[in-house]
Amino acid sequence: MTGPPRRDAGRPRGATVVSAVLAAVRAELAETGFEGLSVERVARRAEVNKTSVYRRWPTREALVAAAMEGLLEEFGDSPDTGSLRGDLLALAAPIADLAARPDGVALLRAALATTARGDLGGAALQRAGDGHSASSLAERARARGEWRPGVDPQQAIFTLVGAIIHRTLLEQAGPTGEWLEGLVDIVHRGIRADP
Amino acid sequence: MTGPPRRDAGRPRGATVVSAVLAAVRAELAETGFEGLSVERVARRAEVNKTSVYRRWPTREALVAAAMEGLLEEFGDSPDTGSLRGDLLALAAPIADLAARPDGVALLRAALATTARGDLGGAALQRAGDGHSASSLAERARARGEWRPGVDPQQAIFTLVGAIIHRTLLEQAGPTGEWLEGLVDIVHRGIRADP
Amino acid sequence: MTGPPRRDAGRPRGATVVSAVLAAVRAELAETGFEGLSVERVARRAEVNKTSVYRRWPTREALVAAAMEGLLEEFGDSPDTGSLRGDLLALAAPIADLAARPDGVALLRAALATTARGDLGGAALQRAGDGHSASSLAERARARGEWRPGVDPQQAIFTLVGAIIHRTLLEQAGPTGEWLEGLVDIVHRGIRADP
Amino acid sequence: MTGPPRRDAGRPRGATVVSAVLAAVRAELAETGFEGLSVERVARRAEVNKTSVYRRWPTREALVAAAMEGLLEEFGDSPDTGSLRGDLLALAAPIADLAARPDGVALLRAALATTARGDLGGAALQRAGDGHSASSLAERARARGEWRPGVDPQQAIFTLVGAIIHRTLLEQAGPTGEWLEGLVDIVHRGIRADP
DNA sequence: TGATAACCGAGACGGTACGTCACGTCTTTAA
DNA sequence: TTAAAGACGTGACGTACCGTCTCGGTTATCA
Per-residue pLDDT reduced to its tens digit, D21-74: 999 999 998 888 888 899 999 999 999 999 999 999 988 888 888 888 777 766
How much is the pLDDT for D89? 95
C171 backbone dihedrals φ, ψ, rounded to 5°: -75, -20
Residues B172 and B195 sit within 8 Å (Cβ to Cβ): no
Domains B15-69 and B76-191 share a fold: no
A122 has a pLDDT exceeding 70: no
In this complex, the residue with its CA at the shortest distance from the C1' of nucleotide E5 is: D10
Q: State whether residue C147 is helix, strand or coil.
A: strand
User: Which residue type does B150 have?
Assistant: G
- CA of C99, closest CA in chain D: separation in Å? 14
Chain B residue nearest residue D46, CA to CA:
B1
Residues D91 and D135 sit within 8 Å (Cβ to Cβ): no
**What is the number of CB-based contacts under 8 A between chain C and chain D?**
123
Sequence length of chain C is 195
Residues C81 and C7 sit within 8 Å (Cβ to Cβ): no
Question: Between chain B and chain C, are at least 3 CB pairs below 8 A?
Answer: no
How much is the pLDDT for A84? 96
Give, in Å, how far the C1' of F24 lies from the CA of B12.
Answer: 11
Pairwise CB contact (< 8 Å): A163 & B164:
no
User: Which chains form contacts with chain C, at 3 or more CB pairs under 8 Å?
Assistant: A, D
Backbone dihedral region of A6: left (phi > 0), alpha (psi from -120 to 50 degrees) or beta?
beta
Q: Is the CB of D44 under 7 A from strand E?
A: no
Rounded Cα distance between D49 and C128, Å, is 46
The pLDDT of A28-57, averaged and rounded, is 88
The pLDDT of B143-159, averaged and rounded, is 95
Q: Is the CB of D51 under 7 A from strand E?
A: yes
Residues B147 and B111 sit within 8 Å (Cβ to Cβ): no
The predicted-structure confidence for C9-28, as pLDDT tens digits, reads as follows 666 667 788 999 999 999 99
Lowest mean pLDDT among A147-156, B37-46, C62-71: C62-71
Domain A15-69: which CATH class?
mainly alpha
Chain A residue nearest residue C4, CA to CA:
A47
In this complex, the residue with its CA at the shortest distance from the C1' of nucleotide F8 is: C52
Q: Which of D64, D88, D119, D166 has the most C C-beta neighbours within 10 Å, making it the best mutation to test the interface with C?
A: D166
User: Which chains form contacts with chain D, at 3 or more CB pairs under 8 Å?
Assistant: B, C
User: Which residue type does A176 have?
Assistant: T
Sequence length of chain B is 195
Sequence length of chain A is 195
Give the torsion through C-alpha atoms of B110, B112, B116, B118, to 10 deg.
80
Where residue C31 falls among pLDDT bands split at 50, 70, 90?
confident
Rounded Cα distance between A125 and C188, Å, is 91
Where residue D183 falls among pLDDT bands split at 50, 70, 90?
very high
How much is the pLDDT for B3? 43
Residues A187 and A156 sit within 8 Å (Cβ to Cβ): yes
Under CATH, which number does the domain D76-191 receive?
1.10.357.10
C148 has a pLDDT exceeding 90: yes
Rounded Cα distance between B120 and B112, Å, is 8
The predicted-structure confidence for D114-148, as pLDDT tens digits, reads as follows 755 456 555 555 555 555 778 889 999 999 999 99
Residues C128 and C75 sit within 8 Å (Cβ to Cβ): yes
Q: State whether residue A101 is helix, strand or coil.
A: coil
Rounded Cα distance between C170 and A89, Å, is 87
Alpha helix ranges (H) inside B33-72: 39-46, 50-56, 60-68
Residues A162 and A155 sit within 8 Å (Cβ to Cβ): no
Give the torsion through C-alpha atoms of C25, C26, C28, C33, to 10 deg.
110
User: Which chains form contacts with chain B, at 3 or more CB pairs under 8 Å?
Assistant: A, D
A42: the nucleotide nearest its CA (via C1') is E22
Contact partners, residue A26, CB within 8 Å, separation at least 6: A67, A103
Rounded Cα distance between A101 and A174, Å, is 9
How much is the pLDDT for B128? 56
The pLDDT of A3-16, averaged and rounded, is 48
Residues C160 and C88 sit within 8 Å (Cβ to Cβ): yes
Identify the residue with better confidence: A195 or B139. B139
How much is the pLDDT for C80? 92
- CA of D68, closest CA in chain B: separation in Å? 24
Rounded Cα distance between A70 and D165, Å, is 71
Contact partners, residue D112, CB within 8 Å, separation at least 6: C109, C112, C113, C165, C169, C170, D121, D165, D169
User: Which residue type does B105 have?
Assistant: V
Domain ranges of chain B: 15-69, 76-191
Greatest Cα pair distance in chain B: 75
Rg (CA), chain D: 21
How much is the pLDDT for A63? 87
- CA of A39, closest CA in chain C: separation in Å? 17
Q: State whether residue C177 is helix, strand or coil.
A: helix
Instruction: Give chain B's end-to-end CA distance (angstroms, integer).
Output: 75
Q: Which of D25, D47, D46 lies closest to D37 in space, CA to CA?
A: D25
Q: Which of B72, B151, B155, B180 has the most A C-beta neighbours within 10 Å, making it the best mutation to test the interface with A?
A: B155
Rounded Cα distance between C37 and C25, Å, is 8
Backbone dihedral region of A9: left (phi > 0), alpha (psi from -120 to 50 degrees) or beta?
beta
Where residue A76 falls among pLDDT bands split at 50, 70, 90?
low
Measure Cα distances from C85 to C186, D155, D183, D191 in Å: 10, 18, 18, 15
How much is the pLDDT for B5? 47
Which residues from the 84-103 window of protein chain D have CB within 7 angstroms of nucleic acid chain E? none
